[in-house]
Amino acid sequence: VLVDDAIIDVENSYKRLKQNHALPPDQRKDKIQVNYEASVEIRSSIMHATLIIAVAFMPLFFLSGMEGRMLRPLGITFIVSLLSSLVVALSVTPAMCSLLLSPDKQLEKTKEGGNRFVRRLNSLYTSSLNYVLKHKGVVISLVGVLFIGSIITFFTLGRSFLPAFNEGTLTINTITQPGLSLEASSKLNEQLEEKLLDMEEIKYVSRRSGRAEHSAHMHGGSYSSEIDVPYQLQERSKSDFLRELRSKVSDLPGLNVNVGQPLSHRIDHMLSGTSANIALKIFGEDLNRMYALGQSITEEVKTIPGIVDLRIAPQVEVPQLKIQPKRKMLAKYGITINHFNEFIHAAIAGEKVSQVFEGNRNFDFILRYDKNYRSTFEQLKNSLIDSPINGKIPLHYIAEISSRSGPNVINRENVQRKLVVSANVAERDLHGVISDIKHRIQQKVEVPENYWIEYGGQFESEARSSKIILITSLFAILIIFMMLFHEFKSAKIAGIIMLNLPLALIGGIFAIRFTSGILSIPGLIGFITLFGIASRNGILLLSRFQVLENQGLCMRDRILEGASERLNPIMMTALTAVFALIPLALRGSQPGNEIQSPMAIVILGGLISSTFLNIYVLPVIYNLFCNSKRS
């Protein structure tokens, strides 16, 4: 895109220099003057086309959240580079044209109309355009059918926030029964590792079981593990590899497995608080009823196509010790509630009072009751606490101590108790799976009063981003129309140029349909880019038509001559972009190219359709709606 302005400027200057050189010597203008006039001729078109592309990128700056942080730098980089290329095209390029395109020998080498291929191409285009102008109704009907077909196809596309990454490493989170010891949890995970290493794509694995008490990424106790699994695909696809891997690890008793990737897991966690594509958050009062509701949901949605790694957050009863202070007795013995709480915390949990250094290592020095005073229920009841009135007294004098069971963990969100049912999506689009889940729960699961379900995950960001892009794109299109109206002083001409947008949509939508079939946020950014690029061709064509109209040419002559003159720059700018995009579009599965590839596919498909339809449809529309008396 950065060379488009220079291509148009150089092509027009070279064409005018050749035309000037073909004149008799006494009628030729100064070559610098010819270069100047040629540059001025297309300067306004270049400026407006470039500014329109910049305006088309406006929606990126309204995105919030992670998608905004990810895509705003793209918009800034693109616009700054684009405006820099415009400055070069308006200053450096004309100067270089005067120096490098002016020698008489060079101009004599190429006859008017360019080389043989260019002349042949122009001849074919002129004859085919002449035929198209005689069959306007057929052309418009055909384009209408293609556009309607593309819109219908658009609503059949799957939708996703980001395309599937290919990071080359899997991150497998496992959860055993809460309260299970680190040793027992490690033995279960060793069985999983053995199954993983049986696969030829996997050479080694590494595992972290449990988490440090104050870890920044703490997601469980000794019963949780995280396994890094680097892999290298051999003869089969990634989907086949993951399908076999999941079948191997799903039948391990006592292990709840979630298969993801390092970066993908972190993105999911940032978006929903869960390391999975989908998080069904159940809110309510009673944890037991919430867990029963979660099990009902799990049973109903597990048969939905595309659902994998379905699991419910473990909720089990664990033994607990309840120490309830007797406030009257505390007052009798002169013990404050703060002193009581500090004593219980220090005596049982322990309190850090210093540090011990051994060489380069240091350890916390913890003060608490000896095991003989806190190992059993009776020992704890008879442990002594200081009283300002009576000296040391047994703990059971001032507190009721009881043993009971309770939930292993209580999660909250916005002060409400929360239980999460999580799942990943494989071989299907995220939006379609979510729609099926909502429909299945609405039809099959009865949600008690004062309990509710919230749906979290990447699809929330996708829906929010798509809405923002749609609204801001409408404003961008309005601004583009106003810029075109300012350039041509005609709402009719501006409207004809805006027809490039649906023409570009046709190719972009079908390109997605015949590749992944899933529209993601990078694909939407591709459409944004496409709108600006596609408008350039229309500006080039219509501006030339207007110039020829002012020179007094009839409608058919100005269409045929103007379109023929603009064919070269239109084809060159389109082919330049196409050749640059092909490597990105074809290497979508390569690590690091997953986000660029959907954008490239959309731009590539839309550019091809808009270019070929543009050079035929716009002249037809112009002929129908801008017919003047001079026609």
Read off the pLDDT of each residue in 455-477 and give the average, rounded to a whole number.
Answer: 85
* Cα gap 81→220, rounded to integer Å: 47
* 259 alpha carbon, distance to own chain's centre: 20
- How far apart are alpha carbons 162 and 183 in whole angstroms? 38
| C-alpha closest to that of 179 among 317, 357, 377 | 317
| pLDDT value of position 87 | 92
The per-residue pLDDT for 312 is 87
Who contacts 136 (Cβ-Cβ below 8 Å, separation ≥6)? 620, 623, 624
pLDDT at residue 216 is higher than 60: no
Please count the helices (runs of H) and the strands (runs of E) in the chain: 20, 17
Q: H or E element: which one contains 148?
A: helix 136-154
What pLDDT is stored for residue 395 in this prediction?
A: 86
Q: What is the pLDDT of residue 150?
A: 92
Residue 91 pLDDT more than 50?
yes
d(CA 585, CA 146) in angstroms, rounded, equals 23
| Cα gap 215→266, rounded to integer Å | 15
**pLDDT > 70? residue 500:** yes
Q: Does the pLDDT of residue 152 top 90, yes or no?
A: yes
Is the pLDDT score of 489 beyond 50? yes
* Pairwise CA distance, residues 496 & 436, whole Å: 41
Chain segment 248-286, per-residue pLDDT in tens? 888 788 788 888 888 887 888 777 777 788 889 999 988
* Lowest pLDDT segment from 175-189, 476-490, 552-566: 175-189
Q: Where are the beta strands (DSSP E) in 359-432?
A: 361-367, 384-387, 391-394, 399-407, 411-413, 416-425
**pLDDT digits 0-9 by tens, 562-590:** 888 888 888 888 888 889 888 888 877 77
Whether residue 605 is predicted with pLDDT greater than 60 in this model: the reply is yes
State what percent of residues in the chain have pLDDT above 90. 11
pLDDT attached to residue 68: 84
Overall residue count recorded for the chain in this entry: 631
> What pLDDT score does 629 carry?
43
pLDDT at 293: 92
Residues 6+ apart with CB under 8 A from 266: none
Which residue matches tokens 């990737």?
Answer: 261
pLDDT above 70 as % of the chain: 96
- Phi/psi region, residue 299 (left: phi>0; alpha: psi -120 to 50; beta: rest), is alpha
Mean pLDDT taken over the chain: 85
Written as one letter, the residue type at 237 is S
The pTM of this model reads: 0.77
Above 80 in pLDDT, residue 227? yes
> What tokens appear for 239 in the block?
């989907």
pLDDT at 491 over 80: yes
- In 3D, which of 256, 270, 240, 265 has the Cα closest to residue 310? 256
Q: Is the dihedral of CA 618, 624, 628, 630 positive or negative?
A: positive
pLDDT reading at 148 higher than 90: yes
Q: Is the pLDDT of residue 522 over 70?
A: yes
113 pLDDT band (50/70/90 cuts)? very low
User: CA dihedral defined by 588, 593, 594, 596, rounded to 10 degrees?
Assistant: -90
Residue 477 has pLDDT above 80, yes or no: yes
Q: pLDDT, tens digit, for every residue of 392-429?
A: 888 888 888 888 877 777 888 888 899 989 888 888 88
Please, are residues 54 and 83 in contact by the beta-carbon 8 Å criterion? Answer: yes
- pLDDT 10s digits, 350-396: 888 898 998 888 888 988 888 877 777 788 888 888 888 888 888 88
Predicted local distance difference test score (pLDDT) of residue 631: 38
Write out the two tokens for 477: 């299109």
Average pLDDT for 8-34: 85
> In the predicted model, what is the mean pLDDT of residues 614-630?
78
Confidence tier at 120 by pLDDT (50, 70, 90): confident
Sheet (strand 256-260) strand order: 206-209, 224-230, 169-175, 256-260
* pLDDT, mean of residues 469-487: 88
Amino acid at 292: A
Report the pLDDT value the prediction gives residue 283, as an integer from 0 to 100: 93
At residue 23, what are phi and psi to the nearest 5 degrees?
A: -75, 160
Taking the C-alpha atoms of residue 162 and residue 157, their distance in angstroms, rounded to an integer, is 14
What HEC string does 413-452 produce?
Answer: ECCEEEEEEEEEECCCCHHHHHHHHHHHHHHHCCCCCCCE
Q: Which residue has the tokens 């899997």?
A: 170
Kindly tell me if the per-residue pLDDT of 110 is higher than 70: no
**pLDDT recorded at residue 214:** 56
Looking at per-residue confidence, does 630 or 276 come out higher?
Answer: 276
Residue 490 has pLDDT above 60, yes or no: yes
Once rounded to an integer, what is the mean pLDDT over residues 75-79?
90
Going by C-alpha positions, the residue among 186, 183, 228, 223 that lies closest to residue 203 is 228
306 in Cβ contact with 246 (< 8 Å)? no
